[in-house]
Chain A
Amino acid sequence: MNLADWVVLLGAIVGIALYGAWRTRHVRSLNTYMRGAATTGWGTIGLSVMATQASAITFLSIPGQGFESGIAFVQNYFGLPLALIVVCAVFLPMYRRLNVYTAYEFLGQRFDQKTRLLGAALFLLQRGLAAGVTIYAPAIIISTVLGWPLDAVVVFTGLLVIVYTVTGGSEAVALTHKWQMAVISTGMLTAMVVLLLRMPDGLGFTDAAHVAGALGKLHAVDFSLDPSRRYTVWTGVFGGLFLSLSYFGTDQSQVQRYIGGASVREGRLGLMFNAVLKIPMQFLILLLGALLFVFYQFAPSPVFWNQAEWRRHAEDDRFRAIEAEHRSALVESQSAIRAWLDARASDDPAREASARAAMVAASQKDGAIRAEAKSALAAADPRAKTKDSDYVFITFILTELPHGAVGLLMAVMFAAALSSTASELAALGTTATIDLWRHFRPLAAPDEARNVRVARRFTALWGLFAVAFALFARFAENLIEATNILGSIFYGVLLGLFVVAFFLRRVGGSAVFIAAVAAQALVIAMYFSLNIGYLWYNLVGCAACTGFSVALQAVLPPRAGAGGSRGARASEGRVG
């Protein structure tokens, strides 16, 4: 990185953060602090929802996923548009009607306070840890590649987000999200254009896509019913539906993004904006990764992408021999690709099939050499991190993009880290203030200024907790999956609480509370004893919580005042 890159990076990241803090420094109303400006329109809400979900992991790991495994991961998002329709039709109107600050307040009104506290605790537990991952995940990659101190990157990111989130709360978060999304969109578009321009002569987009497809990288949809397959249409639609419903309907970091605003219409259109754009956006990011795979069949590439890790261990002759084999395999692969493209143009099916087989074999040979490199690394040091796909895109950024653009793409990573962390901290602070502090200190409720002060302190405390967690914790190697797995373990039960609340009005607080605890224990036991796709835990947790609730309600005494609570009354004629 040179001076131009630093100017772009710091100008974009620090500039947006300071602008957000300065514009919202006078926020004194609890409503504005927790729900944002009352005039917020659907565009801001839509971008804020998108920026909250798209963390730096999205832009570092997903291209790596496309590079290594192809674009089948896009199916994970198939449940998202369907979930957002349900959130728009059922969840959002209810939250607006009850005028709640958090989703868990609704549980308190519908059931009882212990169920509200359980919902809030599940959220605080999983989102509090996830906030640490959100800061740590890009920091470890960026610091490794650039040689920056990991702790410095974590502390810089953490303190920057704490400053503007604590200052302006939800209003600052929404304001900065708009500009951060502008940086992210511009940066990713730039990376895609540069990638296509730097493809070898004679290899346009269509040819590159055909090569990627022939090498198994463009298999977007899989209708297989095999439950052991991680990404299929069915896991995406059903597992993804439950994951998205939990995330958008019950996770305060998302609920807080759309319950404010000028009206229900603005929130709904903001969510529909995401329902329409999310799958195409993820497809393009994965496609970028698949095209990077083709690009690096022709450009010099390391045998192991995490070069810092490789250099730390790879000193003997065996590693030099692996590197030489890789270089030789790449030359072979390039020739095979050229031969296949010529064969395709020749209209000779037999020649094309033969050249295709040779190309696939050459690619597999290089894949085997890469696998051998990982094995050698693991043999040299069993603690070595052998997962390197997260380092592909950032290596491309640093070695292939022109100066200025490098700074812009680094700003993309930091903007994404800041945007998702800000939503998480605002939500954690709001939930801790409303569902814990004000619950146990109800007399403090009328004191508006005191509530804002307390909310600021809780937001800052969660920020410091996230930074501490990022500094001291060690995580699973595949960063994006680690956060998804963590979410899937807790989200299903949380969603189950809300499904019972919305659709099973005969079930009372005690039944749903015991059912949720039992369902959570079941999911954790299954996670440690079974080997199934983690998205299914969303469905299992939700189904177990719902089923146990119905069964328990059948044997428990009928709940007092069934259907008479404010939440239940408000839901009449709207759901169920």
Chain B
Amino acid sequence: MTPDPRPVEGSDIEPPDVPGFRTWPGVYLFVFGWFVLVVVLLTVFTNIFS
């Protein structure tokens, strides 16, 4: 019913191929850091304008 599993498609083997990032955990860490930065900026925004 379902097509056969893909043989080798390597989720973690395949590099992100993004300048500055060699591994996927590095990409995730960047995104997490961006999220923290956004929350900090929103907190600062709240303090300035409220």
Contact = CB atoms under 8 A, between A and B. Distances in A.
Nearest to B46: A220
Nearest to A439: B1
B39 A263 contact: no
Contact of B9 (A31, A213, A264): A264
Contacts of B3: 31, 99
Contacts of A283: 42
B16 A218 contact: no
A221 B2 contact: no
B11 A264 contact: yes
Interface stretch (A127-135, A268-276, A550-558): A268-276
A152 interface: no
Contacts of A566: 5
B40 to A, nearest CB: 9
A363 to B, nearest CB: 14
A438 B18 CA distance: 40
Interface residues of A, number: 49
A101 interface: yes
A280 B27 CA distance: 19
A97 B39 contact: no
Nearest to A31: B3
B5 A74 contact: no
Contact of B14 (A212, A263, A280, A442): A263
B35 A279 contact: yes
Interface string A397-439: 0000000000000000000000000000000000000100011
Nearest to A435: B1
Interface of A: 31, 74, 78, 81-82, 84-85, 88-89, 92-93, 96-101, 105, 109, 209-210, 212-214, 216, 218-221, 233, 263-265, 268-269, 272, 275-276, 279-280, 283, 434, 438-439, 442, 445, 566, 570, 574
Given A78-B35, A78-B39, A439-B1, 9 more contacts: A74-B42, A85-B28, A88-B24, A213-B49, A213-B50, A216-B50, A218-B45, A264-B11, A268-B24
Complex A-B, nearest 5 residue pairs according to Cβ-Cβ distance, in ascending order: A213-B49, A93-B11, A220-B42, A218-B49, A81-B35
20 contacts: A81-B31, A81-B32, A81-B35, A84-B31, A93-B12, A97-B5, A101-B2, A213-B48, A214-B50, A218-B49, A220-B42, A220-B43, A220-B45, A220-B46, A221-B42, A221-B43, A265-B16, A269-B16, A275-B34, A283-B42
